[in-house]
Structure 1
Amino acid sequence: MPILALVAVLLAALSVPALAEDAARPFSQCMAVAEALPQATYVNLAPDALPVAGGNPGEVEIRFAAHATYVITTPAGVTIATDYNGYAGPVEVPRVVTMNKAHGSHFTRSPDPRIGHVLPGWRDDGMPAEHHLVVEDVYVRNVTTDIRNFGGMEPDGNSIFIFEVADLCIGHLGHLHHPLEDRHYAKIGRLDIVMVPVDGGLTLSHGAMTAIARRLQSSILLPMHRRGAAISGFITMMGDSFATDYVNDEAVTVSARSLPRRPTIMVLKGI
């Protein structure tokens, strides 16, 4: 059976709307189909003949700026700053910024007007934020999660942002406050690279965060949001199946072909 026909059958069986129903939504190469819950089987929905967002294979630079802000530079030169707050770290004016509102260090209400696209991970009306943005060679989308707010949980107040570029699926977990459910993993899909908060409690405990990181099965884990507990606790709990690379630079350059065969925690300079 052709791959697109197979995908349509699987989506129909799961009562998930077919992507083709929304003509404005770009095709995602990173989406997952939950074939048998609670485990999710990850399926590459984009064969080589159907590239996402017109992307071309190439190298992506990921630079640690500060706190939860990484700057992603795509092969076409598009710059994206995650959890952008307007002041932390050496961040020049990016083309795209993503934000989350748990604390003021993760967003700004007055972003630089020269920024082309500002993507908040929440909506002020309480509805889930939904982003499907294509800028040259990158497709940016989000998956909402809840956040703690005045002792309770606020639905859809945080977003996990996914960046699909150069045949890579790159994720930023944001200010994650609860374990992910099967529906989240299915919406996230495959993540080759994931940026993970490792504070050990301001977001989630090391135990809860390592469980998420193991299930995502990413080739590269990039720690962020290091406050409170030592990063060594997170690394130890990830276990021997993950290598650790202390990179003597603020940035790493990666392509789909250069992903490490053994899952690796890359601790960039400044973390």
Structure 2
Amino acid sequence: GSSIGIKPPNVKADIVLVTHDHYDHNKVKVVEKEGTRVIRGGNETIGGIEVESFKAYHDKEKGAKRGEITMFKFTVDGITFCHVGDLGHVIDDETAEKIGHVDILFIPVGGTFTIDADEAIEVCKKINPKVVVPMHYKIGGLSLPIGRVEPFLENAGKNCEIRHVANEIEIEKDDLPEETEVWVFTL
């Protein structure tokens, strides 16, 4: 299949959330194992993990250019995560209200195929999470023509702390910051 220039992870997943079926976001077979639960939308609880989905668009033209995406919100051990996938537009207030409380927000910041750094800041303000994790930005080896994370960090850094964390962390609800922080994972 097609490659984005980065080696796939060597992990197997119990649950896979598929935001959309573009080649750079749907490699279920890479992480699938016997019994893996693949979720493409809907609301359900799996092994104590509550999963909700919300429809949005991959572009600013209500999906006319790149189609629909699914944003996911899920709660694990009392921490609520929201992954907005390849969000291509600033969400409206009604969608932000439907999403509701979020502790940790995963949001694209690289532009071109998704929202850019400034639009990501707008979405963050609407959702108001405790932690923002930027994603879908240019890193070494990536062949996609998208922007780097720095413009987002420069803008976000005016109003919140920027923390560079390891590529994997363990967190409990009590570890969440009082004020919004941006956590940049080491890749």
1:121-200 alignment, distance < 5 Å? 129=41, 131-148=42-59, 152-153=64-65, 157-200=68-111
> 2: CA distance between counterparts of 1:109 and 1:134?
20
The answer as to whether partners of 1:162 and 1:169 remain within 8 angstroms in 2 is: yes
Normalising by structure 1, we get a TM-score of: 0.58
Unaligned runs of 5+ in 1: 1-66, 68-86, 121-128
Q: CA RMSD in A?
A: 2.3
Runs of 5+ in structure 2 lacking a partner? 139-145
Bigger strand share? 1
**Number of aligned residues:** 172
What is the identity, as a one-letter code, of the residue corresponding to 2:163? Answer: D
Question: Residues 64-79 of structure 1: matches in 2 within 5 Å?
Answer: none
Deviations 1:23-50 (A, max 9, x none): xxxxxxxxxxxxxxxxxxxxxxxxxxxx
Equivalent of residue 15 in structure 2, options 96, 107, 129: 96
Map of 2:24 onto structure 1:
105
Structure 2: distance between partners of 1:195 and 1:132: 19
Q: 1:40 maps to which residue? A: none
Q: Deviations over 1:54-86 (max 9, x none)?
A: xxxxxxxxxxxxx9xxxxxxxxxxxxxxxxxxx
Counterpart position of 2:141:
none
Matched, 1:236 2:148: no
In the alignment, the residues of structure 2 paired with residue 115 and residue 222 of structure 1 have an alpha-carbon distance, to the nearest angstrom, of 29
User: Do the aligned residues in 1 keep the contact of 2:20 with 2:69 (CA within 8 Å)?
Assistant: yes
Which structure is larger by alpha-carbon Rg, 1 or 2? 1
Where do residues 17-32 of structure 1 align in structure 2 (5 Å cutoff)? Answer: none
Q: Is contact 1:102-1:175 (8 Å) kept?
A: no
TM value normalised by structure 2: 0.82
Report the CA distance between 1:137 and its aligned residue: 2.2
